[in-house]
Amino acid sequence: MLNKKSVDDINVKGKRVLVRCDFNVPLKEGVITDENRLVAALPTIKKLIGDGGKVILCSHLGKPKGEPKPELSLAPVAKRLTELLGQEVKFAADPEVVGPNAKAAVEAMNDGDVVLLENTRYRAEETKNGEAFSKELASLCDVFVNDAFGTAHRAHCSNVGVTKYVDTAVVGYLMQKEIDFLGNAVNNPVRPFVAILGGAKVADKLNVINNLLEKCDTLIIGGGMAYTFIKAQGGKVGISLVDDSKLDYCLDMMKKAEELGKKLLLPIDTVAADGFPNPIDAEIETMIVPTNAIPDDKEGLDIGPKTRELFADAVKNAKTVVWNGPMGVSENPCLAAGTIAVAKALADTDATTIIGGGDSAAAVNNLGFGDKMTHISTGGGASLEFLEGKDLPGVVAANDK
């Protein structure tokens, strides 16, 4: 059980508060094309403004690799945040991030003012957690708030290093939500607890499968990674995606499930085609075949109708469901039925439903089921590591209650 201090546990009146946000938004010719991450950060920012803090925001954007790249400047974010907050967000345009503009802007702040620093990854030391840059960031503030779950699995200056040089380090509302749902749902779930894993590769989810088998009551495996399990059992999977180096691992996991008395569900039928669609949304001819009897020249690309029923049935009586990874090539309308069926089953259940970031979050939102889920994680890699049971540096660095 993770119990971290949050913005609700501190008094920031008159104090300089550095907030690490996740403003890593998609930009097209200087225009933000999806502002979900900005909107998600507003509750924490508004709380700190309302409490009379001097709010200094920082974030990375893209991968400038330690040098100033004008197309990755946070200037458009300052402009849009000004509109969203209804008050000026002063942009400190220092290529070195903590420079004369930032220092002067912070020096001139009144309670409730907001300043945004330049892209933290303009500094090469940021991703190496270099001491000098951590100290510079800390010199701007009295209190540090981490609200960027998407980078919580990395130890960088702006989320971990800085905490060594400030007395008070807490989490914001977004981070708190991730800890509550992802961390505690897995470690302390209301049962029955069903975990659904999809996506392409078994290798990406080795530790997740292992960890969740110990925690959940039923583990459902779909997506491309299912074919390695099917082949391990002696099934014929045609030209479907298989990781031959992981066949023994899959057998071990099936044995482990049996020994622990857990249900491990695999697809029983498959939507197969001649190959992966190119482009990804191209219309293709498909056929339904048993998952363990896919013709030699066909590739499995989605779960079939019987499997959709089987998986939907398995979540009906669940009290907690965690889902990470689509059931097929869900970007293609011909191959999205499996992912839609699982999303629909989750939307119809009374369970606490948690979507673990990345592709499954995108799929759920794009298919229109986003508002039916209890929690959609904002971090891809971070949520996976949380599901593996790993400690996330960005979470660990915050003060305990």
Give catalytic residues, as residue numbers.
37, 201, 358, 381
Q: At residue 100, what are phi and psi to the nearest 5 degrees?
A: -60, -40
Q: Helices marked H in 6-156 — which ranges?
A: 36-50, 75-85, 100-107, 131-139
Q: Which residues contact 88 (CB under 8 A, 6 or more apart)?
A: 82, 113, 114
| Residues annotated within a binding site for (2R)-3-phosphoglycerate | 37, 121, 154
In 3D space, the residue among 115, 128, 168 whose CA is nearest the CA of residue 9 turns out to be 168
| Residues annotated within a binding site for substrate | 22-24, 37, 60-63, 121, 154
Residue 68 exposed, middle or buried by CB count within 10 Å (0-12, 13-18, 19+): middle
Q: What is the largest CA-CA distance in the chain?
A: 70
| Residues annotated within a binding site | 22-24, 37, 60-63, 121, 154, 205, 300, 331, 357-360
Question: Residue 55 region, left (φ>0) first, then alpha (ψ -120 to 50), else beta?
Answer: beta
Beta bridge partners of 90: 115
Please give the span between the terminal C-alpha atoms of the chain, in angstroms, as a whole number: 12
d(C-alpha 190, C-alpha 187), whole Å: 10
Helix axes 75-85, 36-50, angle to 10 degrees: 60
Q: What single-letter DSSP state applies at residue 367?
A: T
> What length does the chain have?
401
d(C-alpha 371, C-alpha 355), whole Å: 12
Whether the CB-CB separation of 61 and 77 falls below 8 Å is answered with yes
| Residues annotated within a binding site for ATP | 205, 300, 331, 357-360
CB atoms under 10 Å from CB of 151, counted, come to: 25
The CA radius of gyration of the chain, in Å to the nearest whole number, is 23
Q: Which residues contact 97 (CB under 8 A, 6 or more apart)?
A: 58, 117, 118, 119, 120, 122, 123, 133, 136, 137
